[in-house]
Amino acid sequence: MPTPTKGPRLGGSPTHERLMLANLATSLFEHGKITTTEAKAKRVRPLAEKLITKAKRGDLHNRRQIQRVIRNKDVVHRLMAEIGPFYSDRNGGYLRITRTLPRKGDNAPMAVIELVSEKTVTAEAEAARKTKFAKDQPAEAPKSVETQEAEAPASADEAADSAEATEAPFGEGSHAPLEDGSQPEGFPIKGNASSKLYHVPGSSHYERTTAEVWFASEEAAEAAGFQLPPSQREAKDEESSSEDES
Amino acid sequence: MAVPKRKMSRSNTRSRRSQWKASAVHLVPCANRACKELKPQHVACPNCGQYSGRQVVEPA
């Protein structure tokens, strides 16, 4: 059961209140924006939003439900044909009340109540991406990932002629990860495909790295565009320079 | 019907009325950086007509 409205009716009697609210809602849908007292704006908002919800459903029964409140057929048509479809991607909150300065004369707090003309952020983002978000369409997201995965080895296939290419996604001396995560025979170096870093056995990050690709040697890794982690680069340079001196 | 026993003195009347005070309206600068006019809080600016970056009313 809806909570009864506190305080006296607008206008004095229940019928008077119904008429005032119906007239306010009619004017609101006719003009899109009306200035009224804050009390009336707050009372007309739930009524008008329920009418928009009915307009969104858009069948004959809901049209008749709207016509019980709004007597002007032009406004009913505008509500069903323009306003309802416009809010198809917005779940409630169709109206906005902004307070303005009190009225001259009786100092009544005034407000502007208007139809929200902006699209929701989610709706705009979806329009820009031309896709639905994963939470809205759970079936589609895993599929696209699968297709991407299917495409990546396929393109690698085309790049290299040999049958071994599926096993070597980064050229000669590399090996795709095994399903159980263990090290392929003769490929001890782990590579992280997203950060483009490789880790030699015994280095600080080797144990915690999940290998996305394995390399046979450091040269093969560097040939594929992979680097040592920044913390280990200097040490290696010093080693190589000392080797040069000796 | 209850009726006052004595006429209320001007002194008493004025003492009572001395408590009738108006308080200053709380004003804040408009959030619109081009405007910055003082206005009541939570109200569309009467000078530029904006509220939270949105044109709500025509400026007076």
Q: What is the pLDDT of residues A23-33, one digit of tens each?
A: 999 999 999 99
Task: Identify whether B7 is part of a domain.
Answer: no
Q: What is the dihedral of CA A100, A103, A107, A109, to 10 degrees?
A: -30
- Of residues A246, A200, A75, A183, the one with CA closest to residue A238: A246
Flag whether pLDDT at A157 surpasses 80: no
The 10 Å Cβ neighbour count of residue A45 is: 20
Residues of A in contact with B56 (CB under 8 A): 98, 100, 112, 114
Chain A residue with CA closest to B42: the answer is A99
Residues of B in contact with A98 (CB under 8 A): 44, 51, 54, 56
Task: Identify whether B49 is part of a domain.
Answer: yes
| Minimal C-alpha gap between A18 and chain B (Å) | 27
Question: What is the domain range of residue B33?
Answer: 23-60
Domain count, chain B: 1
Angle subtended at Cα A55 by Cα A13 and Cα A74, rounded to the nearest 5 degrees: 75
Sign of CA dihedral B24, B25, B30, B36: negative
- The domains located in chain A, with CATH, are 14-120 (3.90.1030.10), 174-244 (no CATH)
- Of residues B34, A194, B31, B33, the one with CA closest to residue B43: B31
- Mean predicted confidence (pLDDT) in A224-245: 58
Task: Place A118 in a pLDDT band, splitting at 50, 70 and 90.
Answer: confident
Q: Which pLDDT value is given to residue B7?
A: 96
B46 near A CB under 8 A:
yes
User: Which residues on chain A place their C-beta less than 8 Å from a C-beta of chain B?
Assistant: 35, 98-101, 112, 114
Task: Identify whether B5 is part of a domain.
Answer: no
B59 near A CB under 8 A:
no
- Mean predicted confidence (pLDDT) in B6-23: 96
Query: Could you tell me the strand order of the sheet in which A33-37 lies?
Result: A33-37, A110-115, A95-100
* A74-104 pLDDT per residue, tens: 999 999 999 999 999 999 999 999 999 999 9
Higher pLDDT, B2 or A235: B2
Chain B residue with CA closest to A35: the answer is B57
Task: Place A138 in a pLDDT band, splitting at 50, 70 and 90.
Answer: low
- Mean predicted confidence (pLDDT) in A34-53: 95
The interface predicted TM-score of the complex, written ipTM, equals 0.80
Task: Identify whether B41 is part of a domain.
Answer: yes
Q: Is B26 helix (H, G, I), strand (E, B) or coil?
A: coil
